[in-house]
Amino acid sequence: MRGVNTERAQQGVSSGVGAVVGRVAVPAGVLAAVGGAFTYVAAVDPNEPGHYPVCPLLRLTGVYCPGCGGLRSAYAFVHGDWPAALGANALAVAGFVAFAVVWTVWVVRAVRGRPMRIELGPVQLWSLGLLLLVFTVVRNLPFGGWLRP
């Protein structure tokens, strides 16, 4: 009986409900962790002082880092206040949306038995770093006040 189901075995894809549940376990765990973090931020308002630590870069230098305002942005995002979320940290909102898209693609591919591969080359990584740098510099310049939290 050699050669029976060899195509399926070569692909490394097993069928059945148990196999699908196994493939979706990791994305489900990631969603649970992120959901738990967002639930905590939704319950504990970062706009009230004393609940979260202050950004060390902002405290020591007065310079806003790319993450400054991220918790306030997440709080507003969870509560449906999109303008406030964008005002607190527009880059964080873009990250929340990007995470949702990548996670959805990950789950769909897992259900279909296809591996999820994100291969970022040097160009993409340097571009992402440049975006963070430009965002940080612009939000700290006088004309970039609209990007400050």
- Average of per-residue pLDDT across 100-106: 95
Question: For residue range 12-37, what is the model confidence (pLDDT) as tens digits?
Answer: 555 677 788 888 899 999 999 999 99
3-state secondary structure of 83: helix
DSSP 88: H
Q: What are phi and psi of 147, to 5 degrees?
A: -95, -5
Say if residues 99 and 12 touch (Cβ distance below 8 Å): no
The alpha carbon of 131 is separated from its chain's Cα centroid by a whole number of angstroms, namely 16
Render pLDDT for 56-99 as a digit per residue (tens, 0 to 9): 999 999 999 999 999 999 999 999 999 999 999 999 999 999 99
Residue owning tokens 């993450």: 67
DSSP state of 117: -
Give the C-alpha separation, 135 to 147, whole Å.
Answer: 8
| pLDDT tens, position by position, 35-49 | 999 999 999 999 888
Of 64, 57, 124, the closest CA to residue 90 belongs to 64
With a cut of 90, say whether residue 9 has pLDDT above it: no
- The backbone torsions φ and ψ at residue 5, rounded to the nearest 5 degrees and listed phi first, read 60, 30
pTM: 0.81
> CA 138 to CA 145: how far, in whole Å?
8
Q: How far apart are CA 133 and CA 139, in angstroms?
A: 10
